[in-house]
């Protein structure tokens, strides 16, 4: 049995707490590795190492820090296949999905090459008589990132990249369900030229998390996960005087207007609803067709597409549409919510509750499910399922459809499919949701824009990646400067009046 480690001060360090979490092969249900759960003492040691390394890294000029990011891009491209295979082996997603996970993280590292531009301050000449004013952006110091299982490469890179580019040291706590890729990325950062100790990886659970949240050394905390945990981490971090950005759950609606291209909308829902087994915070889990005729046409298009989806292990090739979910507990939770939908009166158009793969009967596979006639009081509508389940909620009017999305407690992403520009513009302006797609089902911004939701999908003021990330990981210092003015006569300065 493989025993994983922590990454402390630039090298693998064996865990000493005696506590381990099982890392499964989601396709077979077998335990493939043991992940050490760090004690408070081990976490504090990582924090201390980061604190020792940060001042020199923070004093390194932005161009040299950017060159580390540039080298990291080359190393990730070199090892792309190896990283993707390791990611799929622990998470279960297909190789193309794993490469997409890595690529979206890589794009943020590419954006961080522009750190010198992003870290420039402002300057005002002659703000007053002989007075100049200028601002500078300086790193927070040591920051912590607590990351989820569903994007074990992308999410750490979205946070660690900007934090390092700004001159901070980082202690990363990845998910214990798929921790290998974050460890591999830490090794690549050192190979790229990052000084040892600037980036630490501590595997663990609540004990490690609470140690990070309570540490006086940690100045900022970023988190991605469920809303209850996001709220807990934000509350505890800010109560301890830390800067925090915590991103929670989602229930993303896609509105389909009567004039939409129905084939385009159906294809979009298949990818957005079932890709990566629905384990994405930007997955579209609710389709809202406007009018019964629109809904009937949509269901007619969706059914054959859903029935053709191929569910299998990532090892079965690139034509696999999605693989297993991450754990047995996740599978049981998803099936429980599906059962609740049936019990509460929704029509289960495609029922794969008994889905099983020969040779992989113990794997964590959940087949695709399609509900129709879902109502807003049902658990499958209110709850983030995080599985391959698409609910169709019929709306009589556009106003009713937009109201559903606006009234839901989550506000991560949304989309509308229409040919009408006025409707699209109205939707984009009125909707109280952070990321909006117009004929785009998963409106994830590129690295040079920011990513973040509204309402209970986010706690904090600044989003992930883009310009907001450089603001989050730095403090602004403003200097007001005035120098005496005088002429040197006979070895002495005779100063002019300043006012």
The pLDDT of residue 487 is 52
Residue 88 Cα to chain centre, angstroms: 17
Helices 154-165 and 95-112: crossing angle, nearest 10°? 10
The pLDDT of residue 486 is 59
Length of the chain, please? 499
Catalytic one of 35, 112, 166, 281: 281
108 neighbors 162 (Cβ within 8 angstroms): yes
> How far apart are the two ends of the chain, measured CA to CA in Å?
77
The pLDDT of residue 437 is 97
Compute how many other C-beta atoms are within 10 angstroms of the C-beta atom of residue 391: 25
Give 494's strand partners: 487
Compute how many other C-beta atoms are within 10 angstroms of the C-beta atom of residue 417: 26
495 neighbors 486 (Cβ within 8 angstroms): yes
411 neighbors 432 (Cβ within 8 angstroms): yes
Compute how many other C-beta atoms are within 10 angstroms of the C-beta atom of residue 457: 26
> What string of H, E and C letters represents the secondary structure of the chain?
CEECCEEECCEEECCCCCCEEEEEECCCCEEEEEEECCCHHHHHHHHHHHHHHHHHHHHCCHHHHHHHHHHHHHHHHHCHHHHHHHHHHHHCCCHHHHHHHHHHHHHHHHHHCCHHHHCCCCEEEEEECCEEEEEEEEECCEEEEECCCCCCCHHHHHHHHHHHHCCCEEEEECCCCCCHHHHHHHHHHHHCCCCCCCEEECCCCHHHHHHHHHCCCEEEEEEECCHHHHHHHHHHHHHCCCEEEEECCCCEEEEECCCCCHHHHHHHHHHHHHHHHHCCCCCEEEEEEECHHHHHHHHHHHHHHHHCCCECCHHHCCCCCECCCCCHHHHHHHHHHHHHHHHCCCEEEECCCCCCCCCCCCCCCCCCEEEECCCCCCHHHHCCCCCCEEEECCECCHHHHHHHHHHCCEECEEEEECCCHHHHHHHHHHCCCCEEEECCCCCCCCCCCCECCEECCEECCCCECHHHHHHHCEEEEEEEEECCCEEEECCEEEECCCC
Q: Which CATH class is domain 252-438?
A: alpha beta
Q: Write the pLDDT tens digit of every residue in 142-151.
A: 999 999 999 9
Record the pTM. 0.94
Tokens 């580019």: give the residue: 165
> What is the residue extent of each domain of the chain?
2-248+457-480, 252-438
114 neighbors 164 (Cβ within 8 angstroms): no
Q: Write the pLDDT tens digit of every residue in 349-373.
A: 999 999 999 999 999 999 999 999 9
3 neighbors 14 (Cβ within 8 angstroms): yes
Nearest to 460 by CA among 317, 315, 247: 247
At 6, give phi and psi (nearest 5°): -100, 165
Which stretches in the chain have pLDDT values below 50?
495, 497-499
Cα distance between residue 139 and residue 167, in whole Å: 5
The pLDDT of residue 497 is 47
The pLDDT of residue 498 is 42
Cα distance between residue 457 and residue 281, in whole Å: 9
Tell me whether residue 35 is one of the annotated catalytic residues. no
**CATH fit for domain 2-248+457-480, picks 3.90.1150.10, 3.90.470.20, 3.40.605.10, 1.20.120.1200:** 3.40.605.10
The pLDDT of residue 172 is 98
454 neighbors 434 (Cβ within 8 angstroms): yes
Cα distance between residue 137 and residue 349, in whole Å: 55
Cβ-Cβ contacts under 8 Å for 73 (sequence gap 6 or more) = 106, 109, 110, 113
């Amino acid at each position: 049995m493989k025993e994983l480690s922590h990454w402390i001060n630039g090298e693998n360090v064996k865990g000493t707490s005696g506590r381990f979490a099982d890392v499964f092969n989601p396709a077979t249900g077998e335990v493939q590795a043991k992940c050490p759960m760090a004690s408070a003492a081990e976490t504090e040691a990582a924090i201390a190492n980061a604190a020792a390394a940060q001042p020199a890294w923070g004093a390194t000029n932005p161009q040299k820090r950017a060159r580390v990011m540039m080298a990291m891009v080359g190393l990730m491209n070199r090892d792309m296949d190896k990283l993707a295979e390791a990611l799929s082996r622990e998470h279960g997603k297909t190789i193309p999905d794993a490469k997409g996970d890595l690529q979206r993280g890589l794009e943020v590292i590419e954006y961080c090459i522009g750190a010198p531009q992003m870290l420039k301050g402002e300057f005002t000449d002659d703000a007053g008589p002989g007075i100049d004013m200028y601002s500078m952006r300086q790193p927070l110091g040591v920051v912590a990132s607590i990351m989820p299982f569903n994007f074990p490469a992308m999410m750490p890179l979205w946070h660690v990249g900007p934090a390092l580019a700004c001159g901070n040291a980082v202690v990363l706590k990845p998910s214990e369900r798929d921790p290998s890729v974050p460890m591999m990325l830490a090794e690549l950062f050192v190979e790229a030229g990052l000084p040892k100790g600037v980036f630490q990886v501590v595997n663990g659970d609540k004990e490690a998390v609470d140690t990070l949240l309570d540490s006086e050394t940690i100045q900022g905390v970023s988190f991605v996960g469920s809303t209850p945990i996001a709220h807990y981490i934000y509350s505890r971090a800010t109560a301890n005087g830390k800067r925090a950005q915590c991103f929670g759950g989602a229930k993303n609606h896609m509105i389909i207007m009567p004039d939409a291209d129905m084939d385009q909308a159906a294809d979009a829902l298949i990818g957005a609803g079932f890709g990566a087994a629905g384990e994405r915070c930007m997955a579209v889990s609710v389709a809202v067709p406007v009018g019964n005729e629109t809904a009937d046409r949509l269901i007619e298009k969706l059914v054959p597409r859903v029935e053709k989806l191929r569910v299998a292990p990532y090892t079965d090739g690139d034509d696999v549409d999605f693989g297993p979910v991450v754990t047995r507990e996740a599978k049981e939770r998803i099936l429980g919510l599906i059962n609740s939908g049936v019990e509460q009166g929704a029509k289960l158009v495609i029922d794969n509750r008994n889905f099983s793969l020969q040779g992989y009967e113990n794997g964590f596979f959940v087949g695709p499910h399609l509900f129709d006639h879902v109502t807003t009081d049902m658990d499958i509508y209110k709850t983030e399922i995080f599985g391959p389940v698409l609910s169709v909620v019929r709306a009589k009017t556009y106003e009713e459809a937009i109201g559903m999305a606006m009234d839901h407690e989550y506000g991560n992403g949304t989309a509308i499919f229409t040919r009408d520009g006025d409707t699209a513009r109205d939707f984009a302006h009125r909707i109280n949701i952070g990321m909006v797609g117009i004929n785009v089902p998963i409106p994830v911004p590129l690295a040079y824009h920011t990513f973040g939701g509204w309402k209970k999908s986010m706690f904090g003021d600044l989003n992930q990646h883009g310009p907001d990330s450089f603001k989050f990981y730095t403090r602004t210092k403003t200097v007001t400067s005035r120098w005496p003015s005088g002429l040197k006569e006979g070895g002495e300065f005779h100063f002019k009046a300043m006012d």
